Amino acid sequence: MNFWNDEVYKKKLQWNMWPFPEVISTLLGLSQKNEFLGKSVLEVGCGVGNNIIPVARLGFKAYGIDISDYAILEAKKRSLQENVEIELLSGNIEKLPYESNFFSFVIDRSVLTCTSPEVITRSLDEILRVLKPGGIFMAFDWFGINHPDLRFGRYIDRNCFKDFKFGRFKNVELITSFDINTLKGYLQKFTHLDIKQIVSNNMTSEILTETYNFTACKPNLG
């Protein structure tokens, strides 16, 4: 069974309408600072297109891939309605159907953190392959090991949890969580890491959420 296709997108549980502002603002800022990279952008796990459609509207050469056929069909409908050109494919991040050294930027908004450590490792190798030398991987909302809703899942191994009964992750198959050191370990083949830990607390200092946003570059050849 394809969990995201059958249990999430088929049931319209994540048909997001609006882009995440930090995704768009970060991409615009990095693009302006790194004009030499060009403007080709891939979003892995693009869902129904709520981020990648606005990216295309801003003049980027936009590509999106998602494991869910339902999500891609909806993204194609939306892109037609908005009259924007995007190459959208149903496929697996572990084996990206793109040539090497092609993309200026790759975006992940809370996608690989919802997979296993093994999938993360293989997918990061693929992201590294398809990025141009100096190209930038931008990731948002990877979950921290102190996120309180992890307690509602069953621990497997290497900070990975599944079978969530309650909380934010109830409709998610897997969550892999991170601290700074484990995140750096996954990203050891990249350079120029810029990692931000984001923690929100209530008035009694109890942690409500913990996530990481980061950018990482493909090393320049030679």
191-201 and 207-217: which strand pairing?
A: antiparallel
pLDDT at 147: 96
Distance CA 184, CA 40 (A): 26
Distance CA 164, CA 173 (A): 8
**Res. 45: pLDDT tops 90:** yes
Name the residue among 92, 96, 87, 4 with its Cα closest to residue 40: 87
Report the largest interatomic distance among the alpha carbons of the chain, rounded to a whole angstrom: 52
pLDDT at 1: 52
- Where helices occur in 106-209 by DSSP H, the ranges are 117-130, 180-186
pLDDT at 11: 52
**In the chain, pLDDT over 90 holds for what percent of residues?**
81
Backbone φ and ψ of 195, nearest 5° = -110, 130
Instruction: Tell which phi-psi region holds residue 158, choosing left (phi > 0), alpha (psi between -120 and 50) or beta.
Output: left
Distance CA 192, CA 79 (A): 34
Question: Where residue 130 falls among pLDDT bands split at 50, 70, 90?
Answer: very high
Distance CA 67, CA 48 (A): 11
8-state DSSP, 219: P
Question: Where residue 8 falls among pLDDT bands split at 50, 70, 90?
Answer: low
Q: What does the pLDDT look like over 84-107, one tens digit per residue?
A: 999 999 999 999 999 999 999 999
Mean pLDDT of the chain: 92
pLDDT at 23: 96
Could you tell me which residue, 4 or 24, shows the higher pLDDT?
24
Name the residue among 82, 83, 49 with its Cα closest to residue 65: 49
pLDDT at 13: 60
- DSSP state letters, 40-71: EEEEET-TTSTTHHHHHHTT-EEEEEES-HHH
**Domains of the chain, first to last:** 3-217 (3.40.50.150)
Could you tell me which residue, 212 or 207, shows the higher pLDDT?
212
- DSSP state letters, 68-81: -HHHHHHHHHHHHH
Distance spanning both ends of the chain, measured CA to CA: 43
pLDDT at 3: 62
**Res. 143: pLDDT tops 70:** yes
**Res. 214: pLDDT tops 60:** yes
